Every structure is written in C-alpha cells, then in structure tokens.
Amino acid sequence: MKSSSFKIKLTRVEEKLQQLGQIGALPGGGVSRLALTDEDKAARDLLLHWMEQLKLDIRIDELGNMFGIRPGKTAGPPVMVGSHLDSVGTGGLFDGSLGVVAGLEIMEVLNEHNILTNQPFAIANFTNEEGVRFTPDMMGSHGFSKPEILQDLLNAPAVDGSGATVKSELQRIGYAGQTPCGSLSIDTFIELHIEQGPVLETEGIQIGAVEMVQGIYWTEYIFQGVSNHAGTTPIQMRKDAGLVAAQVAAFVRQLANMMGANQVGTVGLIELHPNLINVMAEQARVIIDLRNTDGISLAQAQVSLDKKVKELAKAEDVKLRKNELVRFPPVQFDAKLVSQIANTAQQLGYSVKQMPSGAGHDAQMMASLCPTAMIFVPSVDGISHNIKEFTKAEDMERGCQLLFNVVLDLIS
C-alpha cells in the first residue's frame, strides 16, 4: 500500500500537545510532570481516554507502561511507536509527548481511512523515562526489556529521600498494571523525538535518522564532613564537605575538556546539608552525569573521576560513599531500519542526516528486543530540558508524516 497518499493532520497533533501542555503547566510556560506524580497520572488518564476513543486494545503492565494495540489482518507482534509523558521539573512541551502523540495520530489516520493493516500496530507510553524522581532513567522501557530486574525497579526509592518508591507511587496513582512486564513481544520499534540539541538546526537539516545513543553513567557521591561555625573554625581544622563537592563539580568540566572528542560531563544535582550560609556543610551529595558515544572512553572517564573524587575527599579528610545509579553503554540502532527512515525521508523530499543521540531514550532499551531506530526533528536553539524548548509546526509535521509513512510501509 503506498503510504504517501495518506496525510497526517498536524492540527490534531497540535491540539493533543496543547492539552498535554496544560497538565503540570509551569507559570512561564513548559511543564513539570515528574514520573508517577499527580501530573503524570493526569497525563496518563488523558492518554487512556484518547486510546479508548481510538478503540485500541489497552494494556498496562506492572511498571505502569501503557500500550494501545490496533489489530491487523494477521496476529503476531505489533510494530510499535512511542515515547514518554513524564518530564523533568522544568520540561518543555515536546520532549517525549511528541512521540506519543505522533503514535495517536497514526492511529487516527488508519481509523479515519478504515485501513486494515497486515500487521498489528501499537503505541506506547513508557514509565519514568526521565529518571529524575526515581533512578535509573528510561526505567519503564528498561524493565520492559529486562523483566528480571522488575522488583529492583519497583523498589527504587525517590531521589528526594521522601520514602516513596516506584511501587508505592504506581499504586497511589492507579497505574500498577496487571500485564506482566515484558510479556508483549514487539516486531519493530520506532521513536519520534525532538533532537534536544543544536545539530539539525545549525546544519539546516529537517530530519535526523538516529543511528545510536551515547553511553550514560550516573554516579552519586556523598561526602560526610564536620559541620562547624563558618567564622570560628580555622581553615586547617576544617572537614568541609561542601568544598569537596564544589571541587568535584569543577573537575567534571576539566575531565570533559581533557578527554575531548564526544565526552560530556554534567553536575546537575548538588545538595548541601544543612545548606545554611554560616554553617560548614556536614554532608554534600553530588550526582554526576557522564556521557560519551565511545563506551571505552566513557569507562575511562569514570575511572579518572572516581580516582579524583577519592583524592579530593582524602585531602579534606571527609568520608566518601559512592552509588552507581546508571551504567548504560552506547547502543547502536538497526542499520536497515535507519536507512529505511533516511530513504523514506528523501522520498518525501526532506533533507536528512544520519546522526547519534546525545540524550537517552526509551528506544535504546527497545533495541535489545527488536529492530529499533529513531527519528529526530530540530529543536529551536538546540534547547531542551528547559521551558523554552520549542519545535516548529512544519518540523513536527515532517516528523509525524515520516513516522507514518515508515510505519505504514512496515505494517501493510
């Protein structure tokens, strides 16, 4: 069946994104929809409503992953698209939501034209992709691809120390599903996502055919010093946890510069206790995010970081605890599917570039289960994880149409 005759309706996509944007809306724009909060529940409820309207076979698994399946002529594993509805605390309107809404739009077009596809087609909303309330990130798709770690993921404690766990929050919001995690077999997975970086915009390219996702390491270091008076304590007597945290943060940037190539390093979370102006911190907690497209270099960077952290803690005579929160190696996508995306984009007259992903995505977990790839659309000014995140309507339209055409070619 030639997919090019069917067109997605951008207005429907925009309406759904606009409705989702009301959920967890922040005063200056953007959203805060942390995983398994009431805002996440509200977004899930809205998705449930849309999937019911589309008459999909709805499944919710033990990790709260949500699936909507449209049957085809033949039974068997569906081709699936999807992403995530949770956001970071200062999130934009497009990260994750675009991939879920694009899946709904494909369903809308199939239904309005009464297209009976050969293979079933499914959409997914994966739980806790962002990993900022409960680590690791890509949690739902991780558990879907590795059900043997389900209990560990369900017992994951909230990063904020509130005592909430994934399990207690899934139950609280009513999304502790019955479908066994990982019990749905999937034929192929494609994720449409905003690039969240500057490459496509800078190079004036309309579509990214994503070949791989870089490796991601998250490490928590907790420094235990001695809380003391800021004025009376002589410098040489101090055991200042706050100082060590600051030195580690500075070293992460030096490390990225020393490693060069594709090494990046971020200190997004630093917490001091008691965090008071005139009190030396008793405890400091930092979580470091290291990434690299090359797995060996990433592991080397981590070794250098661990070594330096130990030296800095020793020099200040503070105690050190380390927790390895995330150790995701780089993931290659299916080369054949990547070329199919690139070729279909060219047939549609779109400029396209094959490229890596700097951000983590659910697709990197799905890649261990079935042929998987991603489609990127440009981010204005390369901004994301920021309320200013924006993608132009015409870019969204191209991304959704391309996803539709690739999917229809696969399921017809």
Q: Phi first, then psi: what are they for 337, rounded to 5°?
A: -70, -40
Cβ neighbours of residue 250 closer than 8 Å, sequence gap 6 or more: none
Q: In terms of CB distance, is 96 or 225 closer to ligand HGY? A: 96
Spatial CA neighbour of 101 closest among 77, 128, 124, 72: 124
d(CA 176, CA 169): 9
Site string for ligand HGY, 359-398 (x = CB under 6 A): xx--------------------------------------
Nearer to Mn ion, 251 or 333 (CB): 333
> Would you say 68 or 92 has its CB closer to Mn ion?
92
Q: Which of Mn ion, ligand HGY, none binds 131 (CB below 5-8 Å, type-dependent)? A: ligand HGY
Query: Least distance from C-beta 315 to ligand HGY, angstroms?
Result: 31
Number of residues that bind Mn ion (CB under 5 A): 2
Is 191 one of the binding residues for ligand HGY (CB under 6 A)?
no
62 binding ligand HGY? (CB under 6 A): no
Q: For residue 351, what is the DSSP state?
A: -
| Residue 192 or 222 with smaller CB distance to Mn ion | 192
Residues 335-364: x where in contact with ligand HGY by CB under 6 A, - otherwise, as a string = ------------------------xx----
Q: Which of 329, 339, 412 is nearest to 375 (CA)?
A: 339
Provide the strand spans (E) within 184-318.
188-194, 207-213, 215-224, 264-273, 283-292
Per-residue binder mask for ligand HGY (CB under 6 A), 110-129, x = binder: -------------------x
- Least distance (Å) between residue 130 CB and ligand HGY: 5
Residue 201 contacts which entry, ligand HGY, Mn ion, none (Cβ below 5-8 A, type-dependent): none
Nearer Cβ to ligand HGY (54/383): 383
* 136 makes contact with Mn ion (CB under 5 A): no
Six token digits for residue 218: 């998250």
Nearest distance from residue 88's CB to Mn ion, in Å? 6
Q: How far is the CB of 75 from ligand HGY (least distance, A)?
A: 34
**Is residue 130 a contact point for ligand HGY (CB under 6 A)?**
yes
And the tokens for 396?
């969204």
Which residue in this structure is represented by tokens 């605890």?
321
Backbone angles phi, psi at 297, to 5 degrees: -60, -40
The number of beta carbons lying within 10 Å of the beta carbon of residue 174 is: 12
Give min distance, CB of 93 to ligand HGY, in A.
Answer: 15
* Helix (H), strand (E) at residue 122: strand 121-125
Instruction: Figure out which of the listed residues 96, 225, 265, 371 binds Mn ion, where binding follows CB under 5 A.
Output: 96
CA distance 180 to 185: 12
Distance of closest approach, residue 135 Cβ to ligand HGY, in angstroms:
10
Measured in whole angstroms, the distance separating CA 406 from the mean position of its chain's CA atoms is 22
96 binding partner (options ligand HGY, Mn ion, none; Cβ < 5 to 8 Å by kind):
Mn ion
* Binding at 93: pick from Mn ion, ligand HGY, none (beta carbon under 5-8 Å per type): none
What gap in Å lies between CA 66 and CA 178, rounded to an integer? 11
* C-alpha distances in Å from residue 202, one per residue of 5, 78, 197, 199, 326: 32, 36, 10, 5, 31
* CA separation, residue 176 to residues 35, 46, 173, 215 (Å): 13, 17, 8, 30
Partner interacting with residue 360 (select from Mn ion, ligand HGY, none; CB below 5-8 Å by kind): ligand HGY
SS3 278: coil
Check residue 86 for interaction with ligand HGY (CB under 6 A).
Answer: no
- Cβ burial of 52 (10 Å; 0-12, 13-18, 19+) is exposed
Q: Which of 62, 137, 169, 201 binds ligand HGY (CB under 6 A)?
A: 137
Cα–Cα dist 343/340, whole Å: 5
Which residues, 76 to 95, sit near Mn ion by CB under 5 A? 95
Contact residues for ligand HGY, defined by CB under 6 A: 129-131, 137, 359-360
Interaction site with Mn ion (CB under 5 A): 95-96
